[in-house]
Every structure is written in structure tokens, then in C-alpha cells.
Amino acid sequence: MTKKTRLLILLGCIILFLLAAPYIVLYSLGYRVDFLHRKIVATGGIYVKALPQGVTIKVDSNTTTTGLLNSYVFVKNLLPSNYSVSITKSGYFDYQKTLPVTEKEVTKLETVTLFKQKYLFTSLFNFSEKQSKRSIVTWSDDSKRAIISENNDYFLLNLSLEPATVTPLPVLTGAKDIHFNAQNTSELFFLKNGNLYSTLQTAPIESGVIAYMVNNQTVTWLGADGLLYTTNIPIALTTKMTLQPLPIKKTTTYTLKSIAGNTYLQNGTTLLRFSPTTALFENVYTPVTALILSPNASHLLYCNDHEILVSLSNGKNIVSINKVSGLVKDCSWVNDNYVMYSVNDSILISETNTQGNVNTIILPSTITLPNNTIIAIQAPQLVINQQDKKLYLFTQNQLFSSERLVP
């Protein structure tokens, strides 16, 4: 090989290096060639974490099965575009979402929970010896006690005893707005003839009450005069909170709730929030039939007859996660990222992550008991115990509990 040839080869290598070096550097920094748009772009990534263990996560063409040592998937160097994420596991409902990837950003999906296609249920109580129509009026926070209505009569269902018992409560005849004392489930508060009562005393706590809520030894109540009051029960001290009265209508239902340090009033289907600064109620949203705080107190769940919505606990940025044609009832949080509700005879679970599409599943229309008895779900009443994460289901005059819904 002549000296001239060697110089030509060296010069060629230098030219190739100079041409390739910028691309090598850009490649190492996460840049790629977007052949579709004929330009060099910065890449992004998708990070996915899901429960339970052992799910298969597919992002683009990358497939990973999670386990004890790899509970997440992180796919890097993705061109800016929309990518399909699918999460599957045998015996569970599939999950699919389309997520955007932008330059120099990681799109995170960390709140996914897969739900079983079939949950085991246990019978807690059977009312089938009578055919009268019953309904659950209210539950204690621990889901161990419930008030059952039958025609105009009320009964206490006590699941903390073995076997469970049902006790008549004649004191509640003609009562409404019945609630357990959160600190003492043996005490009930209720309204009767415009008076607020406790089952632990005969004299009324307050008179002229339209709606109320109890927190420890303090009652916050809306009076028949349209003003909001608080009463310290032990010392019978009452303080007026609002400056101007609300117009009270006899045909309207009023409900008070304390959520995340705020006092809310449902005025029919209009949600109001009390402002300590102005001493007035301010409009929040309409229509609303239920308002529930998430277990970690970060989000609010709003329900009305045909829609499920969520927002941050401060009430800002209310967004819809599902609209249905049937009647929505019994909304509740499964965990901080999923909500459950019934629509006619169906039970649905929706995620609250509004990135891309919102995943909603419909649970089976029947439940199977350990003895293989199959029960059709009809006009279900639902409550989720946040302590054990079980679904308590009342249907066809029978009460059932599921196995734990989430890991």
C-alpha cells in the first residue's frame, strides 16, 4: 500500500468520524432521527407501575412481566408520539390506555390496579324469610352496623355479633337523616319533627333543624330559618355562623358534610361551600347528588344521576370520568385512584386518571357463594369498607361481603 493510499484512507476515516461524531453524541443524549418528519428530535419515555405483582405490561413493542424485583417498566428513547400501553394478567380485567410522549419528558402511569374478573362473596345475612322490600339507610364507618328500613320501620343490623342480629328500633319511627356517631357506633343521631335527637338522650339536642352533621361533640346544623349554626353538645352553646339566610324550600332535600376542613351543603342537587371569610355559602357545582373524599384526602368524588366527576380536594378543576344513560347510585372510593358505583343492576369501577382514555369495567351480573349458589344482582346497594377494602353488597333482601378488592 502506497503512502498516498494510506493518507487517503486516513482522510476518509477522519471525514467519517467528523460526520458520525455529532450523531453519536446526539444519540447518547437521547436524540433520534424522526424519519416521518425528516428531522432530529429529542426523545421521551414512559414509566408504568401497576398492581398486583405478576402483570404483563406492554409499551409499544416492549413487553415486561413484573415481579418482586421489577415492579415497574421504564421504556426510554421513544419518539414524540402517542403510544398504547396494555396491562394484563390472567383472571383479571385488561387495562389499556393511549399516552402521549413529548420531547425530554417522561410520561408516568403509576396508579393502575387490575381488578379480578370474579370475586368470592360470603353471605352475611339473609332476610328472605319475609318478602317485604328493605333498603339500607346508613352504615357505620367500620361497616359492622347498618340501619335497615322496612316499610315505615327501622332495624339495627349488627354484624359484629356472631351470629349477626337484627333489632327493631321503634325510637326511629318517623325519623329521617339517620347517622351513626363516628366515635361511638352505639349512638345514633336523627331528625324527627324538625328536632335533632340522639338515641342516648330523650330531650332534643336542637329544634328547628333542617340538616346537620356531627363531629365529636360539635353539631353543625342548618336551621329552618336558613341560617347555619354550631352547637357544643356538652355545654349546649350555640353559635350562628352565617350572616344571611338561605331560602328554605319544603320540597328540597338538604345535606351537610364536612370534607377536608370545608363545610359543604347540598341544596337539592346544587353543591354549596361555606366561606368563613364572607360567612356565606358559595356555589361550587351543580348537579350533585353525592360528594365523597378519597381515602388519602387528595381528591373529591362528585356523582349525579348520570355522571361521575372528580377534582382535587380544594374543589378546583372538576373533570368528568364517565357519563351513563342509566341512574347512578351508591358512589364510593375503592382506593385513591378508583371509584365504584351502580347503574341500574350493574356495578362499575372507573379509574380517576384522566390521562388519555378512562378505563371502566363492569363486574359480573351474578355472584357465586362458596356452596356454588349463584345470586343474580338486582338493584344493588353498595358500600366499601375502607378498613378491609371489601365490598358489602345488598341485593334481593340478602347482604353479602366480597373478598378484598385490591392488593
Q: Is the pLDDT of residue 132 over 80?
A: no
d(CA 51, CA 54): 8
Whether the per-residue pLDDT at 116 is higher than 80: the answer is yes
The mean pLDDT of the chain is 89
Lowest mean pLDDT among 150-154, 353-357, 397-401: 150-154
Contact predicate 298/313, CB 8 Å: yes
Q: Residue 136: pLDDT above 60?
A: yes
pLDDT score for 399 = 94
Whether the pLDDT of residue 29 is over 50: the answer is: no
Is the bond preceding residue 52 a cis peptide, omega within 30 degrees? Answer: yes
What per-residue confidence (pLDDT) applies to 26? 43
Q: What is the pLDDT of residues 178-231, one digit of tens each?
A: 999 999 999 999 999 999 999 999 999 999 999 999 998 899 999 999 999 999
Instruction: Tell me which CATH homologous superfamily contains domain 177-286.
Output: TolB, C-terminal domain (2.120.10.30)
For the cut 80, the answer to whether the pLDDT of residue 15 exceeds it is no
* Candidate from 20-29, 249-258, 273-282, 324-333 with smallest mean pLDDT: 20-29
Degrees, nearest 5: CA angle 192-330-379: 100
For residues 94-104, average pLDDT? 93
Percent of the chain's residues with pLDDT above 90: 71
The most confident of 42-46, 127-131, 158-162, 321-325, by mean pLDDT: 321-325
Q: What is the DSSP letter of 163?
A: S
106 backbone dihedrals φ, ψ, rounded to 5° = -105, 120
What pLDDT, on the 0 to 100 scale, is given for residue 128? 65
Quick one: pLDDT at residue 39? 60
Residue 299 has pLDDT above 70, yes or no: yes
pLDDT at 38: 58
pLDDT at site 67: 83
- What's the whole-number mean pLDDT along residues 305-322? 92
Name the phi and psi angles at 77, rounded to 5: 60, 45
Q: What is the DSSP secondary-structure string of 262-311?
A: EEEEEETTEEEEEETTTTEEEEEESS-SEEEE-TTSSEEEEEETTEEEEE
Q: What are the residues whose beta carbons fall under 8 Å from the beta carbon of 227, sequence distance 6 or more?
A: 240, 241, 242, 245, 246
How many Å from the N-terminal Cα to the C-terminal Cα in the chain? 72
Q: What is the DSSP string of 369-390?
A: -TT--EEE--S-EEEEETTTTE
Q: Delimit the domains of the chain by residue range.
A: 3-32, 43-113, 177-286
Residue 18: pLDDT over 60: no
Sign of CA dihedral 294, 299, 300, 302: negative
Which phi and psi angles does 9 have, rounded to 5°?
A: -65, -45
Topology of domain 43-113, per CATH? Immunoglobulin-like (2.60.40)
Q: Which three cell numbers stand for residue 254?
A: 338538604
Quote the cell numbers at residue 336: 385513591
Considering only residues 24 and 129, tell me which one the structure prediction assigns the higher pLDDT.
129
Grid coordinates standing for 311? 377534582
In this predicted model, what pLDDT tens digit does every residue of 360-402 receive, in sequence order? 999 999 999 999 899 999 999 999 999 999 999 999 989 999 9
What integer pLDDT is reported at residue 159 of this predicted model?
92
The grid coordinates of residue 172 equal 326511629
